[in-house]
């Protein structure tokens, strides 16, 4: 298991497995290999019998600005003679299926400490978490799929209607609108800590989690999650498969690559 870029750290403080995005200078943007490493860490947490909670933390002012668009350009330039279908099967489909699958199948309680905005696939992974805490009211989720020539990913075609309702989901996805705190509270976000310092926020969440869990019979928690997920896991897995196959057609046509390149050349404004 290789941490290719050093953007992600982890530590185990049983019963917690804590994963931290640690590249605040680039707004915790993630390349394809970073997402793979994140998924591998979830698998590691799942296999550890001492772990009952997997906690996602971040650093700086953004949770994650999503895909590192510079890495998209590098993938496009690699093996130029390779057919586009083959290239994006390996650079997009297999990766997204695996990453989303690790989140949807994760047996431990997934907790997201949302310190700031989350974009794209990173936002989709937040929506797959069981519990989301926000640092303050300045957080938002943005799914710029339509702006990038893509379709939904990370099972958002299920999670967003389920948590936000159909009409709010249509509005956010069709018109590339950020989903702000007032719509997230009570649907995606369970508690707002009202803080302005990410490290203090991360510490406050962990302190409260330790207090809340010290009297619980932890195997019961995993049993409860298993039962709660019975009704929606099949939907999530089906959505994951359909989403990546539909998105593959977009990559083969070349529209997302063109738009990511425009972002890298500052010819297109990123709606952050």
DSSP state of 160: H
DSSP state of 131: E
Q: Of 13, 43, 137, 153, which one is the catalytic site residue?
A: 153
Q: What residues form DSSP beta bridges with 180?
A: 140
| Helices and strands, counts by H and E, the chain | 11, 9
Closest to 140 (Cα-Cα) out of 115, 158, 161: 115
Cβ count within 10 A of residue 183: 20
Asked whether the beta carbons of 67 and 30 are under 8 A apart, the reply is yes
Strand ordering across the sheet containing 191-192: 8-13, 16-21, 53-57, 109-114, 131-134, 191-192
CA distances from 96 to 4, 31, 43, 239 (A): 18, 12, 15, 12
Contacts of 84 (CB under 8 A, 6+ apart): 251, 252, 254
Q: What residues form DSSP beta bridges with 17?
A: 12, 54
Active site residue 153: yes
**Which residue numbers are catalytic?**
153
């Amino acid at each position: 298991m290789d941490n290719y870029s050093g953007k992600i750290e982890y530590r185990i403080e049983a019963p917690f497995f804590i994963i931290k995005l640690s590249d605040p200078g680039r707004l915790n943007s993630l390349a394809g290999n970073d997402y793979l490493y994140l998924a591998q860490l979830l698998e590691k947490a799942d296999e550890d019998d001492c772990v009952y909670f997997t906690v996602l933390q971040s650093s700086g002012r953004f949770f994650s600005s999503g895909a590192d668009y510079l890495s998209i350009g590098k993938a496009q330039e690699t093996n130029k003679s390779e057919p586009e279908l083959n290239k994006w099967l390996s650079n997009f489909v297999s990766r997204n299926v695996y990453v989303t699958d690790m989140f949807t199948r994760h047996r431990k309680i997934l907790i997201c400490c949302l310190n700031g905005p989350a974009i794209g696939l990173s936002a989709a992974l937040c929506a797959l978490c069981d519990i989301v805490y926000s640092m303050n009211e300045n957080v938002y989720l943005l799914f710029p799929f339509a702006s990038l020539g893509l379709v939904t990913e990370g099972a958002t075609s299920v999670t967003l209607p389920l948590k936000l309702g159909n009409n709010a989901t249509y509005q956010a996805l069709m018109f590339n609108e950020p989903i702000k705190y007032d719509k997230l509270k009570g649907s995606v976000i369970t508690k707002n800590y009202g803080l302005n310092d990410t490290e203090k926020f991360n510490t406050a969440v962990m302190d409260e989690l330790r207090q809340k869990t010290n009297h619980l019979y932890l195997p019961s928690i995993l049993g409860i999650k298993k039962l709660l997920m019975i009704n929606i896991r099949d939907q999530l897995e089906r959505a994951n498969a359909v989403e990546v196959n539909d998105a593959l057609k977009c990559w083969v046509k070349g529209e997302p690559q063109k738009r990511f390149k425009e972002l890298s050349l500052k010819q297109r404004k990123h709606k952050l």
